[in-house]
Amino acid sequence: MKEKTQALNDIYQTFEAKTREYKDDTACEKGCGFCCKEAGKIEITTLEGLVIRKAMQGFARSRQKTLTKLFQQEIKKRENNVVAPCPFLMKNNACMIYDVRPFSCRRIYSTHVCTLRNPPMVNRRVMEAADQSIKQLQQLDFNGYSGHLSYILYMLSTPAFLDTYEKGEFKPEEIMEFGKAHKIAINRMMDQGVTA
Ligand code: SF4
């Protein structure tokens, strides 16, 4: 796990280094939070989910309880096609898990100030580098899955799934129904575009 977490951070850092020169024109400012409220979908891998889960375990009980409730509400809203802010977004528009935020949040920025009518604009080179990094993230999480943040965290909160995953085993049949309903992708099959 330690080596995988290190490799995960290496992928994040390599992406940052590769794309820094194209982000000079960023309009993003601390306290904006537009993407965190309007993204609709925050794709993560199970490995990223595990890192986030570990960070959450360090939170005060009350915060953990609030987050559990917010994630349940977010899942319900998604099922009714309602876009909800990310549960990790705080009142001051800062990210509660900034240091371990997933790649979806690291890749996004905008060359202009965003509005609903004018969503984020990203340099093409940054998009290409992000696509490469996503492939690396999925390869690194070879026995894992990719999907929206809330669903992956939900899967990891299920003892049977967590046990299989942490042992490095791969049993997609265990999540077949949930995976199909929530568009969870099997990382090792992503080159063929397969979902669970
Ligand atoms: S994890 Fe953090 S950066 Fe990503 S959408 Fe949520 S609040 Fe925003």
User: Going by CA atoms, what residue is nearest to atom 8 of ligand 1?
Assistant: 36
Beta carbons within 10 angstroms of residue 102's beta carbon: 23
Contact 98, 88 (CB under 8 A): no
For the Cβ of 88 lying below 6 angstroms from any atom of ligand 1, the answer is yes
Mean pLDDT of 44-64: 97
Tokens of 58: 């360090």
Closest CA to 89 of 11, 28, 35: 35
For residue 81, pLDDT over 70 is answered with yes
Confidence of residue 25 (pLDDT cuts 50, 70, 90): confident
Mean pLDDT of 40-47: 92
Q: What is the pLDDT of residue 11?
A: 98
Task: Find the distance separating the first CA and the last CA of the chain, reported in whole Å.
Answer: 24
For the Cβ of 107 lying below 6 angstroms from any atom of ligand 1, the answer is no
User: Going by CA atoms, what residue is nearest to atom 2 of ligand 1?
Assistant: 95
User: Going by CA atoms, what residue is nearest to atom 1 of ligand 1?
Assistant: 101
Q: What predicted TM-score, i.e. pTM, was given to this entire model?
A: 0.92
For the Cβ of 145 lying below 6 angstroms from any atom of ligand 1, the answer is no
